[in-house]
Amino acid sequence: MQTSFTVSPYWDTRAMKPDGTSRLMLTINVKDLPQFRFVIKLSSTKSVFDKATSGKGGSDEVKEFRKLIQEQVLKAETILDKLDVFNKDAFINYFKTGISIKPKQKLVDVYSLFQDKIDALIQEDRIGYADNVKGSLHSFRNYKKSLRFSDVDESFLKGYKAWMISKGCSPTTYQMYLRNLRTVYNQAVKDGLFIDVAMPFKNFKIGTSAKSKSVLYPSDIKALFEYEAVGIRASRAKDFFIFCYLSNGMNFQDAAHLKFSNIKGDMLCFVRRKTRTTNSVVDKQINVYLHPEAIEIIKRWGNVSKKPNDYIFPILNNAVGALKQSETFKRYRRVSNKMLRQIGEDLGFSVKLCLNLARHSFGTRLKLDGVSVSFISDAMGHSSSKTTEHYLKSIPDDKYKEMSSRLLEF
């Protein structure tokens, strides 16, 4: 800490016991701030205290006590020296818990920890998540050029949320970015980089978007399935959508990463890319029945070579690294979604058709068929039924009308 400070021992006259001893306190003086004292785990008579703090000699008892006092003073001075910005509660917590303070640049710079997380995710080949965190970092930097942990309080969070809303950003976007900030913040606390004195996320609720996901209902899926696509790219995009829909609403990224080794008889067995390192159940395997139409799609668009380590679809290449694969996948997905949007417009869909809708539509179809949420959750590879409920679209209006018309049928 660049601000000057002093630390001195104090014998508390207010807490003297019948035997003449009293507790010791440390007096902290930081320039331009009010003086304060706090109790330490030492006690003595006034005589021993005076001798220990007034000279170098004395009895063995006095020398030992002087050493104990000096250790406490040095501990306080070390913490004060390492703090970037003085905070009384943080200082006392560091002193009492014994948590060591990491280098200042890590302590004060939230964005450096964001970058550390991005680098770690790239090393783990979690490129999509890394891009997500990178987007969060860019957004926070646009809001505030530099950010220290001492700046992150409830007022900052509310201000950022209001700023994002004023820019027309959706709740889904700013909620995602705030969750990434919370992850970085909590990890810093866990690593002992600072004490969570402000606890900004305790009362501030990030929330989740209440807006239901867009989906295709069974009649829409029928229209899409029967649609005669024109051209290779449009036909392939349509087939990829159907394949994902028939494969438990498989995420297209998972479909792109499927290998022939994932085929076990008439089943597809795989671990989701998104949650392969985050679920409490390590590497939760998802089992998907290979629908006859899904098999036909593999025959139409799959790789000719069927070696176990070959990708089923010729989207990715084993010969390139994760970053290059991510770029290729994004380009492939972008082209496919462009084709699907045109198909959706041709069919008169009220929603923008894209690959992601296959996942939402699969879950909603099972819900309409009366399948339990727990079963749908397992089929979709969710770690929690709450996640599944967020995916399920509301029942369409005609279903409510149908239910209402039966209420007086006896």
User: pLDDT digits over 118-140, tens only?
Assistant: 998 888 888 888 999 999 999 99
Query: In 3D, which of 188, 128, 154, 132 has the Cα closest to residue 326?
Result: 128
More confident residue, 276 or 126: 126
Q: In sequence order, what are the residues at sequence separation of 6 or more whose Cβ sits closer than 8 angstroms to the Cβ of residue 147?
A: 109, 110, 111, 140
Residues 43 and 46: their CA atoms lie apart, in Å, by 9
pLDDT-derived band at 354, boundaries 50, 70, 90:
very high
User: Which residues face 11 on adjacent strands?
Assistant: 24
What mean pLDDT comes out for the span 82-107?
Answer: 71
Q: Which two tokens stand for residue 340?
A: 């699907």
pLDDT-derived band at 391, boundaries 50, 70, 90:
low
Instruction: Give residue 13's region: left, alpha or beta (phi > 0; psi -120 to 50).
Output: alpha
User: Which residues face 268 on adjacent strands?
Assistant: 263, 288
Q: What is the DSSP letter of 170?
A: -
Q: Which two tokens stand for residue 355?
A: 């690959």
Q: Is the pLDDT of residue 105 over 50?
A: no
How many CB atoms sit inside 10 A of residue 359's CB? Answer: 22
Q: Which two tokens stand for residue 407?
A: 């209420």
Contact 283, 271 (CB under 8 A): yes
**Inter-CA distances, 2 with 28, 91, 99, 104, 312, Å:** 15, 15, 21, 12, 60
Q: Is the pLDDT of residue 282 over 80?
A: no
How many CB atoms sit inside 10 A of residue 348's CB? Answer: 8
Residues 410 and 150: their CA atoms lie apart, in Å, by 66
More confident residue, 362 or 104: 362
Q: Is the pLDDT of residue 103 over 70?
A: no
Which pLDDT does position 350 carry in this prediction?
A: 86
38-67: per-residue pLDDT in tens?
999 999 999 999 999 987 788 999 999 999
Query: In 3D, which of 155, 152, 163, 65 has the Cα closest to residue 114?
Result: 152
Which pLDDT does position 150 carry in this prediction?
A: 81
Residues 392 and 366: their CA atoms lie apart, in Å, by 9
What mean pLDDT comes out for the span 397-402?
Answer: 56
Sheet holding 285-289, edge to edge: 263-264, 267-271, 285-289
Which pLDDT does position 410 carry in this prediction?
A: 40
Which pLDDT does position 388 carry in this prediction?
A: 61
All domains of the chain in start order, with CATH = 5-100 (no CATH), 106-203 (1.10.150.130), 218-402 (1.10.443.10)
The C-alpha torsion from 101 through 126 and 288 to 347, rounded to 10°, is 120
Question: Per DSSP, which regions of 31-170 are E strands?
Answer: 36-45
209-232: per-residue pLDDT in tens?
545 557 888 889 999 999 999 899
369-389: per-residue pLDDT in tens?
777 777 677 677 666 666 666
Q: In sequence order, what are the residues at sequence separation of 6 or more whose Cβ sits closer than 8 angstroms to the Cβ of residue 12?
A: 22, 23, 24, 25, 39
Residues 250 and 356: their CA atoms lie apart, in Å, by 9
